Structure 1
Amino acid sequence: MKRLLLATTVLAGLTAVASAADLPRRAAPPVFVPVPVFTWTGFYAGINAGYAFDAGKEGPNSFPVASRFTAAGVPQVATFKKDGQDGFSGGAQIGYNYQFTPGSGVVVGIEADAQYLDFGAKRRDSGVVAAPGFAINDPRGLSSLDYFGTVRGRLGYAFDRTLVYGTGGFAYGAGSSERDFGGFRGNDDFRTGYAVGGGIEYALPTESFFNFFRASAVTLKVEGLYVNLDRGNRNQGAFIINTANNAVVQSISTGRRDDEFAVVRAGLNYKFGTY
């Protein structure tokens, strides 16, 4: 009897174990891997290229010429046609951005750039034939602008990997100018002023083909700037000179002289720092 009871108990236990083995098992919870949120915070450096368009304004462009300075021996009016100075612009930039909330949010930053500018000096024909020994020229057409740079603040809003921003700050530039005609200061006429503008920038994936330097991001931007470089209040300029010694025979008032131009450019930046 005892043996029968023991055998029954063992058999019941084995049956229970087998039944438990057939029950569904609870799977382990999945491991949560957070998706990285892009941020514009970090240092960056890059290159840019574009085109610059003359946006300057001039004072009067017609001036009377006394008879003794004309080949015809009669008074005439010298009229100078404004020649726009347009040309290629290219250079490099470096800066830092800080984004208050990763993903989408306000972004502030600072950027400095240095640019080559192909604005050549131009002499403009007056339409009047000067008497022998004299030359007539427009004093506003005698200087070039060879380079410029800016140091600007940036303020924008990021929509994840797209940044829309405005920018503004200090600008400087210099170019050659003629020492012997027009009363300019020298061959490296340094000027200062300001620049304002805006743009849009997009961050490519980290594994982008352009990411040669293993940066945390590669960004592409399109930007427009208005640059105003003040040449000062030099109201007097040479108008007629004696060609024998470059002495100024007559000068004219040309008003305030600024270099004003707009730049449209595309840029490529490598961002380093916070991912």
Structure 2
Amino acid sequence: MIGVLEDPTQPFRKNSRRVAAAAAVVIALSAPAYAADLRLPVKEAPPPIPVFSWTGLYIGANAGWGSSRNCWDLVPPTPVPPALLGPEGCHDATGAVAGGQIGYRWQTGTWVLGLEAQGNWADLNGSKVSPPFPTTTNRSRIEAFGLFTGQAGWAVQNALLYVKGGAAVADSRFRYTDNATGTVLGAANDTRWGATAGVGLEYGFAPNWSVAVEYDHLFMPNRTHDFVSPAGLYAGTVAIRQDVDLVTARVNYRFGGPVVAKY
């Protein structure tokens, strides 16, 4: 009787099945790790960008140059012939100014509103020989001034363009002197209130520090003054028109205004 021979490839088929099963297990176990490798890396959120704010109380100093236009008119009851009454001409009083300012600003969006008080020492001097009295010289001097203003500005981050306006006060001295001796023949002092308007450009170079350049014009009203001699005697009446132009550089320190985080 002839026996049935075994298939000689049967062991190989069994081994192949075992290998395939093992491979399937390996693939199944490695699939999550492979899928994790395919995920895009997650980036961390960038740090917030600080946004400059103009809100807060500030204090600062300023210095610059000023020019005052002074026009004199000799008027009654000055005891001179009528032909000598009238204009005595105009002259400019120029010089340095220096002082300080304090204020508060509020920022909403790109708009900035504020209030400020400024006080300055001044040395604005000028003179002109009097046409009707050529042996005498008219002299004008501003020794101090103050500004009390409101502000409105437009900000782009740490750059601020603003306009300002309000009240102004100036402390002035007027003299006329003898040309030959320099002796004061008549004098009048004046503290004059008026109005002011100006414009400025300010730049924040650090979180709490800023620098600016500013122009201001002072509109001072006409005033009439009785001049008095050094002996206390009446020495004539003069109507004086006056205005002032100022250009100053400023530096400010702002206290604790908020810095808003922006992503």
TM-score between both structures, scaled by the size of structure 2? 0.69
Q: Which amino acid aligns with 1:154?
A: Q
Which residue of the other structure, out of 219, 230, 252, is the alignment partner of 1:269? Answer: 252
Q: Find the partner of 1:46 among 60, 63, 66.
A: 60
1:195 counterpart = 2:179: no
Name the CA distance, whole Å, in 2 between partners of 1:126 and 1:82: 11
Other-structure match for 2:217 = 226
Q: 1:53 to 1:177 in 2, by over 3 A?
A: closer
- The match for 2:117 is 112
Select the structure of larger CA radius of gyration. Answer: 2
Residues 9-60 of structure 1 show CA distances to partners (whole Å, capped at 9, x for unaligned) of: 5653233223443442422243243322222222222221111012344436
* Pairwise CA distance, 1:119: 2.0
Q: In the alignment, which residue of structure 2 is the partner of 1:97?
A: 105
User: Structure 1: which amino acid aligns with 2:210?
Assistant: T
Shift of 1:225: 0.5
How many residues end up aligned between the 2 structures? 231
Render the CA deviation track for 1:187-240: whole Å, top value 9, x for unaligned.
Answer: xx4332221111221222x3xxxxxxxxx2322211111113447444x556xx
* Unaligned stretches of 5+ residues in structure 1: 67-74, 130-135, 207-215
Distance 1:9 1:265, change over 3 A: same
- Change in CA separation of 1:125 and 1:258 when aligned onto 2, cut-off 3 Å: closer
Alignment of 1:131-150 (within 5 A): 137=136, 141=138, 144-150=141-147
User: What TM-score results when the alignment is normalised by the length of structure 1?
Assistant: 0.67
Shift of 1:93: 1.3
The whole-number CA distance in structure 2 between the counterparts of 1:59 and 1:271 is 46
The answer to whether 1:14 aligns with 2:26 is: yes
Kept in 1: contact 2:210–2:253 (CA 8 A): yes
Shift of 1:88: 0.6
- 1:90 is displaced (CA, Å) by 1.4
SS at match of 2:25: helix
Identity %: 25
**Which one has the bigger strand percentage?**
2
Q: Confirm or deny that 1:251 pairs with 2:236.
A: yes
Does structure 2 conserve the Cα–Cα contact (< 8 Å) formed by 1:174 and 1:191? yes
